[in-house]
Amino acid sequence: MECPHLSSSVCIAPDSAKFPLGSPSSWCCSVCRSNKSPWVCLTCSSVHCGRYVNGHAKKHYEDAQIPLTNHKKSEKQEKVQHTVCMDCSSYSTYCYRCDDFVVNDTKLGLVQKVREHLQNLENSAFTADRHRKRKLLENSSLNSKLLKVNGSTTAICATGLRNLGNTCFMNAILQSLSNIEQFCCYFKELPAVELRNGKTAGRRTYHTRSQGDNNVSLVEEFRKTLCALWQGSQTAFSPESLFYVVWKIMPNFRGYQQQDAHEFMRYLLDHLHLELQGGFNGVSHSAILQENSTLTSSNKCCINGASTVVTAIFGGILQNEVNCLICGTESRKFDPFLDLSLDIPSQFRNKRSKNQETGPVCSLRDCLRSFTDLEELDETELYMCHKCKKKQKSTKKFWIQKLPKVLCLHLKRFHWTAYLRNKVDTYVEFPLRGLDMKCYLLEPENSGPENCLYDLAAVVVHHGSGVGSGHYTAYATHEGRWFHFNDSTVTLTDEDTVVKAKAYILFYVERQARAGSEKL
């Protein structure tokens, strides 16, 4: 929201010497000395803990209001309100009088200047700490072995994404996409777009609503976010600018409620596709596609117009066959897809863990077979037969006519009942390597053996019981090692841990495509 209290509450100098030493994300509360969730007052630069720790930041605001309620406010008192503070981890701004997060700035841009200064302090502290760790690691010949074995060791080269308020759904998807090499490299190689001119040109952009809608570019903010990951220059990156653009162009994701990661992924890919169709920074998307020899015309799948990198990487084609059970008329329809949503077969829905003894374990192949098996449509889905000229009972079957370069499989874990949306918490076994999709193809004889084999690149996991609650994390492989991405925390893990995860979204990369990308 736009806060009317900034001019009277933001009083500190952006580079104030009153700030504590060290990285802002580890500053301690001046009352209880807790370093969890530190918030800095933008009036007096004092640091206190957030409301979910001991709430001293809010108490600091409440104590400052007592003199104003006991006697007539003077002009000087009006200016000193201590109502606005900044999260030292995510750099988001909050007003206690408005009781909401703030997206605007003062006329002089003081909030943005403080934000940039805090980030510089964070990066400086991290660089010094990273240099110290590197010195220690260089002296240890067992370094690489320790990194691979110790699953709790923080990964130095990887960058986490700060949670901006229930944005774990977005963070998990962004980390997964950043580890799909061909897709990620395309965006990182795009030319940069400077969205601001004049005195602020060249500075990092934190969008505010005062900038106007004309400056919003999802492709640009997505590109910046991908570039910030895997550089190893900071422990965590705040995707605040990208989240602001998401708010602007995807109204369903406004606010700080928990959202569905799969729904967000589909909206994200669809909007990236639409924006790329219109060209980017004066460079036609088709021209950039042609420069990449691996994205040939045979790999493109057009959805809603011309092909882009989104459809070239994730696009496949389904053939939908419907047969009338009365007259035998067959209807065929071809549908492009970016991902496949798979039901977990009903006979497995009580199987909650891999080690549970009763009954067989549900596998990804079971879900794929359920998706492609011949199915008789029920009474609510009667098929309009053009030969019988009325709705008739029929059967339906899916075939995959064209496989994508990256096969995205969504396991349908959330189901609506009469009043609630319940979660299917069944464990589904999935392979890390060699997922063979040949038996699901319409014409398998026309595909080479390698073209049908897929290796796992990333997994999104939902922890909790409901779609509107819980938490999302992601596993992804990078340069032969598996990482666990939990918002701002990134840790090395192993394959045994990954295969035990209750997957929600699986990203499989075509084996031939991966081999080709490693040669480049």
- Active centre residues (catalytic): 168, 471
Q: Looking at beta carbons, which pairs linking 361-366 to residues 24 or more positions away fall under 8 Å? A: 361/427, 361/429, 362/426, 362/427, 362/428, 362/429, 363/428, 363/429, 363/430, 364/409, 364/428, 364/429, 364/430, 364/431, 364/435, 364/506, 366/428
The CA-to-CA distance between both ends of the chain, in Å, stands at 46
Check: CB of residue 115 under 8 Å from CB of residue 24: no
Strand, coil or helix: 376: strand
As a whole number of angstroms, the distance between CA 53 and CA 240 comes to 23
As a whole number of angstroms, the distance between CA 365 and CA 373 comes to 12
As a whole number of angstroms, the distance between CA 256 and CA 163 comes to 10
Check: CB of residue 204 under 8 Å from CB of residue 91: no
At 304, list the tokens: 């809603």
Check: CB of residue 93 under 8 Å from CB of residue 84: yes
Check: CB of residue 94 under 8 Å from CB of residue 87: yes
As a whole number of angstroms, the distance between CA 485 and CA 239 comes to 15
The β-bridge partners of 342 are 411
**Maximal C-alpha separation, the chain:** 88
For 264-294, letters b (16+ CB in 10 Å) and e give bbbbbbebbbbbbbeebeeeebeebbeeeeb
In this structure, the strands spanning 421-423 and 414-416 are: antiparallel
